[in-house]
């Protein structure tokens, strides 16, 4: 009788192992992917993580092309912006779009969308507190889809 129960448990165990939930499988894949080649990390919204200030922040462009800045805690999860301020100038020097940022659900979101185009230059100025030195980032926002990962090129996590 005991043997039968043990066998039954073993059988159940075997039957359960291959039926790994899809979400778990996804996680496993991600872990593997991270380990294999992703040198860069994506932020909580799928944006680019910028390390020039503490706390680090995520640079993300919303569906309506507004810039969304989300500060990140030690665990790389979003934290609500408090003393931090952000300003930005997007687009060509001949026709710049000045953006001011307002708090929106803990993130700082630009009042205006970025100018049109698939490659938009941006100058981003971040102050982590009123006394802190302003830290400027200049880069081109590349809106094309990365052929390798699920992100736009500006937030791409591949090492290329
Ligand atoms: Zn990529």
Neighbours of ion ligand 1 (CB under 5 A): 146, 148-149, 156, 158
The answer to whether 108 and 102 have CB atoms below 8 angstroms apart is: yes
Residue 122 C-alpha to ligand 1 middle, in angstroms?
20
Along the 160 residues of the chain, how does pLDDT read in single tens digits?
555 555 454 454 444 444 555 555 555 544 444 444 446 788 999 999 999 999 999 999 999 999 999 999 999 999 999 999 999 999 999 999 999 999 999 999 999 999 999 999 999 999 999 999 999 999 999 999 999 999 999 999 997 6
CA of 49 to the centre of ligand 1 (A): 14
Domain 48-155 grouped into CATH 2.60.40: yes
pLDDT computed for residue 159 by the predictor: 76
């Amino acid at each position: 009788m005991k043997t039968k129960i043990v066998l039954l448990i073993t059988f159940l165990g075997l039957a359960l192992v291959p039926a790994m939930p899809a979400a778990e499988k996804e996680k496993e894949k991600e872990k593997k992917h991270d380990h294999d080649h992703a040198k860069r990390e994506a932020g909580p919204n799928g944006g680019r993580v910028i390390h020039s200030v503490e706390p680090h922040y995520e640079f993300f462009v919303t569906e309506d092309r507004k810039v969304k800045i989300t500060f990140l805690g030690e665990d790389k999860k979003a934290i609500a912006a408090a003393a931090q301020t952000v300003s930005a100038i997007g687009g060509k020097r001949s026709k710049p779009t000045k953006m001011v940022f307002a708090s929106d659900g803990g993130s700082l979101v630009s009042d205006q969308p970025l100018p049109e185009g698939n490659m938009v230059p941006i100058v981003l100025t971040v102050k982590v507190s009123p006394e802190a030195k302003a830290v400027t980032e200049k880069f081109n926002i590349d809106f094309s889809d990365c052929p390798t990962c699920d992100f736009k090129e500006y937030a791409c996590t591949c090492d290329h």
